[in-house]
A and B are shown apart, each in its own frame.
Chain A
Amino acid sequence: MLLALTLANLKMILRNRQALFWAMAFPLIFVTIFGLFRLDQPPTINLLVVDHAQDSLSTALVKNLAGLERFEVAEVQDEERARRDVQDGEVGYLLVIPEGLAEKLATPGGNQPVPIELVYDRGSQTAAIIIGTIQRFVQETNQQITHAPTVLELKAVGVQAKNLTYFDFLLPGFVGMGVMTYAIIGLSSAMALYREQKILKRMLATPLKVRTFFAAQIMAFLGLSVAQACIIVAAGVLFFNGHIYGNFLYLLVLVVIANVVFLNLGFFVGAVAKNVRAADGMANAISMPMMFLSGTFFPKESLPGVLADVVEFLPLSPLLDAMRGVALDGKAFWQYPTELAILGGWIVVSSVLAVRVFRFS
C-alpha cells in the first residue's frame, strides 16, 4: 500500500509538468547565471600609462605591469586627456612616469624618492589592491636598481592544490537551495490543494492509515530530491566546469536528511494556510529569506554579529555547511556532528509541528 501510494505520488509529481519545471528550473537558472558570468573572477583592470621617461627602466616597469594577470595596460601620450578619462570613470587607473627616471635613480647621492604618480578614482573598490600591486612593483624595481640588500624575502607559496572557485562554493548551495524550495513550496501547495479539493477527506474515508499517507508523500519527495540534486550537480559539473571534490553519495545522504525537515515544514505550511495561494505565499516567505541567510550565495560569516549566530540554526545552514565540507574538502558527512545534530533537532521539532497542525478538512 505504501509503495503503491508512493508510486502514485511520484507519477503525479512527474506529470505536474509546470511545478516540476519550476522545481528544476529555479536552481538551474542560478547555476547557469553564475556559471556563465563567472562572478568569482575579478574584473580586468584597465591601466593607462603615460611614460615621459621612455628609458630602459620605465619600459621595464611597464612591461612588468602588462605581464600581470588581469592587467590591461595601454600606453598613451596625451596626459591631459588620460587624466580626464580617469576623472570621467572611463578608465580605472593612470600611471604617470616622470622624465628621466633611470637617470635620476642612477645619480649618486640622489636619494630623494622619484615621484611616480598613480591617478585613480577614490570611490573605486579595487583601488587598494591595485595600489598595493603597483607599489610592490615599483619597490622591487627600485631595489634592483639601488642594489639594496634584500634582508628578508617573502616567498609566496601557493598551497591551494585544488583551484577552488566561487562557482565550486556555490554549487552545493544551489543543490541545498533547490531541494529546499521545491520541498517546502511543492509539498505545501500540494497539501493545500488536496485539502481544498477534499481529496484528503476522501482518503480519510478509507482505511488508509494517516502515517502511511505521510510516509508515501515523504518517500516520493525524497526520491525526487535525489534526482534534483543529481541534475543540478550534473549541470554544474558538465556545463560550467564546477567541481565536487568529495563523495557525491555523501551529498545525497545529507540532502535526504535535511529534506525530511523541509518536507515537514511543507506539511506544516500546507496545514496552516487557508488555501493554495496562501500556502504558496507562506512557503516563499519561509524559503526565500532562508536561501539568502543560510549562505547559498555568500558565506554567512559576513552577516553582522548576532544574526550570523542565529542563522547557524536555520535548517538550511547546517546542510550547506556540511555539503560544502563534503564537496570542497572531501570530508565525510559524519565529520559534521554539530551540523547533523542541528538537523536532527529540526527533524524532531518539525515532525511534531507537522503532525500537530495537520488537518484533513
Chain B
Amino acid sequence: MTEAIEVEGLVKRFGSFTAVDGISFTVHQGEVFGILGPNGAGKTTTMEIIEGLQEPTAGQTRVLGMDTHRERAKVKERIGVQLQASAYFEYLTLTEILNLFGRFYPRHLDPGGLLAKVGLVDKAKATVGRLSGGQKQRFTIAAALVNDPEVVFLDEPTTGLDPQARRNLWEFIQAIHQDGRTIVLTTHYMEEAQLLCQRVAIMDAAKIAALDTPHDLVRRLPVPYEIRVTAAGSLPQDNLAGLAGVKEVAFDADGACRLRSANAARTLQALMAWASEKGVALAEVEVVPANLEDVFLALTGHQLRD
C-alpha cells in the first residue's frame, strides 16, 4: 500500500531564516499523525508545503504517492485542508459555503450530511459570524471534508477552545478517523497528541526531535515514571534512593516523597519490602507515568509552552 504522506529532506527558508531544516518522515494510510511543537517550530510551514500551498526550498513531499508540486491539482482533489485560524465568507450561510466549495471538486459530499456529522444542522442557514468558537472550528473541519478526502490536514484544530469544546472536537476527529481517513494534525497540547495520535513527531526549532508512538516516546525516557508515596506518620528518608530502579528522590512540602523510577514494577516491589522492614505504614502510593510534556522537556531542554 502506498504511504499517505512521504516527506524527504524538506527544507524551507525565508531569506536567511530556516523555518524547516531538512526533515523527513512518513505517514501511513489510516493513521492519525500528530506534529507536536511550540510556537514557531515550523509545523504550519511543513503542513502547507505538503498541501502544495507553499514551495519548498529543497526536498520532496508526496501525498498518496503523488508529488505535491508536480501533480498539485490531483493531490488537491484528494486532500482536505483546515488552515490555522482561517475564516470563511462572512455573507454566505454554512450550506452555501459547503455547496460552493463542493463545486470546486469533481466529487463532493452533501452539505446536510456534513453539517449533521459535526452537529451543526440547526445552523445550516446561519453565517459563520454567528457561530461560537467551537462551532466555527467544527465547521472548518466539515468544510475540509467536503470532497470526501482520503487525507485530512488539521492545523491546530483545538487551539483557543475551552476544555469542554476541545473534548467534543476530539470525539469528532476520532469519528472522521473511523471513516477510514488518514489525519495529520498539529497541536501544542500533549494530551491531545497522546489521546488522538497513533504516532507523534515532536518538532522544535525547525527539526524533528523524535518520532514514535506516544507510548514509546514516553517509555524511552530515562525516567518514565514517578511514584508518589505518603506515610501515616512521618516517612523515614533513609535508603529510599537505593531502592531498585530509583534514579532520583524528591520531597514535597507536605512530606510526600517522589521517587523517579526507570522501572515502576521493580521499584514498587522494593518499596513494599522496604516499608515492612522499617515498619512504616504507607498511606498512599501513586504511580504517575511521564507524559509527552516530559518527553519534550527531556529532548529539547525547554517546556512545550512558555
**Does chain A have a CB within 8 A of B85?**
yes
- Across the interface, which residues of A come within 8 angstroms of B91, CB to CB? 11-12, 15-16
Q: Considering residues A199, A204, A205, which has the most beta carbons from chain B within 10 angstroms of its beta carbon?
A: A205
**Does chain A have a CB within 8 A of B105?**
yes
Give B234 Cβ to nearest chain A Cβ, in Å.
Answer: 60
**Does chain A have a CB within 8 A of B217?**
no
A207 CB contact (under 8 Å) in B51, B76, B83, B86: B76
User: Do B51 and A8 have beta carbons less than 8 Å apart?
Assistant: no
Give B239 Cβ to nearest chain A Cβ, in Å.
Answer: 60
| Total count of chain B residues near the partner, CB < 8 A | 25
User: Do A5 and B53 have beta carbons less than 8 Å apart?
Assistant: no
Interface-forming stretch among B95-103, B179-187, B258-266, B277-285?
B95-103
**Does chain B have a CB within 8 A of A129?**
no
Closest to A206 in B: B104
**Does chain A have a CB within 8 A of B1?**
no
- Across the interface, which residues of B come within 8 angstroms of A8, CB to CB? 89, 92, 96, 100
User: Do B104 and A1 have beta carbons less than 8 Å apart?
Assistant: yes
- Across the interface, which residues of A come within 8 angstroms of B73, CB to CB? 207
A11-B96 contact given A16-B91, A197-B86, A205-B51, CB 8 Å threshold: yes
**Does chain B have a CB within 8 A of A4?**
yes
Interface membership of chain A positions 69-87, coded 1 if the CB is closer than 8 angstroms to chain B and 0 otherwise: 0000000000000000000
**Does chain A have a CB within 8 A of B77?**
yes
- Bound together, the chains give a CA A208 to CA B76 distance in angstroms of 9
A237-253: which residues lie under 8 A (CB-CB) from chain B? Answer: none
Give A237 Cβ to nearest chain B Cβ, in Å.
Answer: 32
B50-108: which residues lie under 8 A (CB-CB) from chain A? Answer: 51-53, 73, 76-77, 79, 81, 83, 85-89, 91-92, 96, 99-101, 103-106
Interface membership of chain B positions 21-62, coded 1 if the CB is closer than 8 angstroms to chain A and 0 otherwise: 000000000000000000000000000000111000000000
A199-B86 contact given A12-B92, A16-B91, A205-B76, CB 8 Å threshold: yes
User: Do A5 and B86 have beta carbons less than 8 Å apart?
Assistant: no
- Across the interface, which residues of B come within 8 angstroms of A64, CB to CB? none
Give A4 Cβ to nearest chain B Cβ, in Å.
Answer: 5
**Does chain B have a CB within 8 A of A202?**
yes
- Across the interface, which residues of A come within 8 angstroms of B83, CB to CB? 198, 201-202, 205
User: Do A198 and B85 have beta carbons less than 8 Å apart?
Assistant: yes
User: Do A202 and B103 have beta carbons less than 8 Å apart?
Assistant: no
Interface size class of A (residues with CB under 8 A): 20 to 34
User: Do A198 and B89 have beta carbons less than 8 Å apart?
Assistant: no
**Does chain B have a CB within 8 A of A361?**
yes
Give A360 Cβ to nearest chain B Cβ, in Å.
Answer: 8
User: Do A199 and B87 have beta carbons less than 8 Å apart?
Assistant: yes
Q: Considering residues B76, B87, B89, which has the most beta carbons from chain A within 10 angstroms of its beta carbon?
A: B89
- Bound together, the chains give a CA A8 to CA B53 distance in angstroms of 24
- Bound together, the chains give a CA A12 to CA B88 distance in angstroms of 12
A205-B53 contact given A198-B85, A199-B86, CB 8 Å threshold: yes
User: Do B92 and A199 have beta carbons less than 8 Å apart?
Assistant: no
User: Do A205 and B89 have beta carbons less than 8 Å apart?
Assistant: no
- Across the interface, which residues of A come within 8 angstroms of B79, CB to CB? 205
- Across the interface, which residues of B come within 8 angstroms of A360, CB to CB? 53
A207-244: which residues lie under 8 A (CB-CB) from chain B? Answer: 207-208
User: Do B88 and A199 have beta carbons less than 8 Å apart?
Assistant: yes
B53 CB contact (under 8 Å) in A1, A12, A204: A204
- Across the interface, which residues of B come within 8 angstroms of A361, CB to CB? 53
A5-B85 contact given A11-B92, A205-B51, A206-B76, CB 8 Å threshold: no
A207-B81 contact given A8-B92, A197-B86, CB 8 Å threshold: no
User: Do A202 and B88 have beta carbons less than 8 Å apart?
Assistant: yes
Closest to A193 in B: B90
Query: What are some 21 contacts across the A-B interface (CB < 8 A)?
Result: A1-B103, A4-B99, A4-B100, A8-B100, A11-B91, A15-B91, A15-B92, A16-B91, A199-B89, A201-B53, A202-B83, A202-B86, A205-B53, A205-B83, A206-B76, A206-B105, A207-B77, A207-B106, A208-B104, A360-B53, A361-B53
Knowing that A205-B51, A206-B101 touch, tell me 12 more A-B residue pairs with CB under 8 angstroms: A1-B103, A5-B100, A5-B103, A11-B91, A12-B89, A16-B91, A197-B87, A198-B85, A199-B86, A203-B104, A205-B52, A206-B147
